[in-house]
Chain A
């Protein structure tokens, strides 16, 4: 009886979804006055003022090359320049959302009883330090080159968190929650401090107070490298603390 009910529900939802997709298709392809997403011109589609690093001025100079200097913003990766420089305020809000969700995890997660764990085999015990060291190195490389190559603070922080999670397999009770919390708070305070330092310098929140340099060099882009370093540290400590909450066990003496 119950399976038949489930089949009826599946069929009903399937038919409703077919209807829904037909309505969406009709709205997309036969829109008003023959306009749909295919007829949008490329100049309306691509946000060119970010690509040519020219948001404030009216007349757009369409030349940006490697080694240039004197543009608004000096990082070679344009996605990074949007995330950390032009829309850094959005990124601050995103980090606050992540912090709130991790705080909710810590609030709701109960403790787990200590159990007898099978010790890891010798293959794992030999390989894990090397693998986690390489993972940490790749993570730091990705964070520091966020303004030149794809990557940045978020995937680099995730990789560093993965390296620390590997180390948990090697040694139990490796992660200390208080140290993680302190590192995370310091990184968050550093981000807000950098934003207010820009305010003191020029009156804008998240103002770029460091020299821009030439596009394509390691030390270019001004505040981007500093902010991405802090974001990477914060994301790594937050994701590692989620892992420590999920793995966490009750102490034996308590």
Chain B
């Protein structure tokens, strides 16, 4: 088992835990946190696929004579922007959750059809 296997194993387990949380939790805050965990797993997966054994960071310095040892810089550049977008979408999701709580007076996902039927009955 080399290092890349370990990276991919961690990423896969985080991904699965994220999906588990999204499917089973009812609290909206918990669901957003599960989405964050899933996103962390995906980031780890994509950056880990660009790793090569005994790689070096893709920065040209005085001591870096052999550039063929550099790890892949392209996934790092993509993930760099993905993290910032993740923050923005998390903020938007939290605000939508607060509005949901203002309207339905609960933070859990409930069956909205049941609520409507109850209102009709009352």
Contacts and interface: CB of A to CB of B under 8 A. Distances in A.
Asked if chains A and B are in direct contact (CB within 8 A), the reply is: yes
Identify the 10 closest CB pairs spanning chains A and B, nearest first.
A101-B88, A82-B77, A78-B58, A94-B81, A76-B60, A78-B73, A46-B72, A101-B92, A98-B88, A47-B74
Interface in A89-137: 90-91, 94, 97-98, 101-102, 104-105, 108-110
Given A51-B73, A102-B88, A104-B95, 14 more contacts: A9-B24, A14-B20, A37-B49, A66-B60, A66-B62, A78-B70, A79-B77, A87-B77, A91-B81, A105-B95, A108-B95, A108-B96, A110-B99, A154-B83
B74 A82 contact: yes
B87 to A, nearest CB: 7
Nearest to B2: A38
A105 B105 CA distance: 20
8 contacts: A21-B16, A46-B70, A76-B60, A77-B58, A79-B59, A97-B85, A101-B91, A104-B92
A13 interface: yes
The bracket for how many chain A residues form the interface is 35 or more
Contacts of B84: 94, 98, 154, 158, 235
B89 interface: yes
A63 to B, nearest CB: 8
A26 B55 CA distance: 28
A13 to B, nearest CB: 5
Given A37-B49, A51-B70, A102-B91, A64 B81 contact: no
A162 B19 CA distance: 31
B81 to A, nearest CB: 4
A201 interface: no
Contacts of B74: 47, 50, 82
Interface of A: 6, 9-10, 13-14, 17, 20-21, 24, 37, 42, 45-48, 50-52, 62, 64-66, 76-79, 82-83, 87, 90-91, 94, 97-98, 101-102, 104-105, 108-110, 149-150, 152, 154, 158, 215-216, 235, 238-239, 242, 246
Contact of B60 (A9, A42, A65): A65
Interface in B53-83: 57-62, 65, 67-68, 70-74, 76-77, 80-81, 83
Contacts of A82: 73-74, 77
Contacts of A78: 58-60, 70, 73
A76 B70 CA distance: 13
Nearest to A18: B16
B92 A64 contact: no
Given A78-B73, A109-B95, A215-B60, A64 B67 contact: yes
B58 A83 contact: no
Contacts of A150: 57, 59
A94 B81 CA distance: 7
A166 B114 CA distance: 45
B59 A45 contact: no
